[in-house]
Amino acid sequence: MIVDGEIHKFWSGKYGVNIQLPRYGIKNDDGGNIVEVYFKQINILPIPNSSLFKLWKSEPKAQPCYISKSATITDLENKIKRILNTYMYFKQSNKNFTIKKMHVWRYNEEDLDDIVALDKKYIDYTSVKLDAFLLNANEEQKAK
């Protein structure tokens, strides 16, 4: 990557002289590579929040994560697992809990009030109706 002198001076002062910053790349159909600069923002609302994660008190608040536009659903699932496991380990100090399997749903963010009701229902019921699309239902979907 080529940068001007002031940016290089700032990075050299902050990180040292030999700076290597990894970048995500997307391979084109013609075999060339493009460095990805703008990632896709995914907003995470983990359930059960009130009994496990405790990311919001009364009003749901989405936690953003950023991922490559060329990433698969499996990549997204693994990234969310890393984020939530790190949160549980360091913020909640729960060193005995690890998320190994999860469902990833696409949900309409305009209905965040329904998330609070859904979270409360999750505590008392074995199944909860959700108006959302399951993204990682099978291996074919996970590869998208």
Instruction: List, for residues 31-89, the tens digit of each pLDDT value.
Output: 777 777 778 888 888 888 777 888 777 777 788 888 888 888 999 999 999 988 888 88
Termini Cα distance of the chain: 30
DSSP 65-122: EEE-TT--HHHHHHHHHHHHHHIIIIIS--TT--------EE--GGGHHHHHHHHHHH
Distance in angstroms (rounded) separating the CA atoms of residues 134 and 70 = 19
Low-confidence winner among 10-14, 103-107, 109-113 (lowest mean pLDDT): 109-113
Q: Which tokens go with 26?
A: 């997307």
User: Is-above-0.75 flag for pTM?
Assistant: no
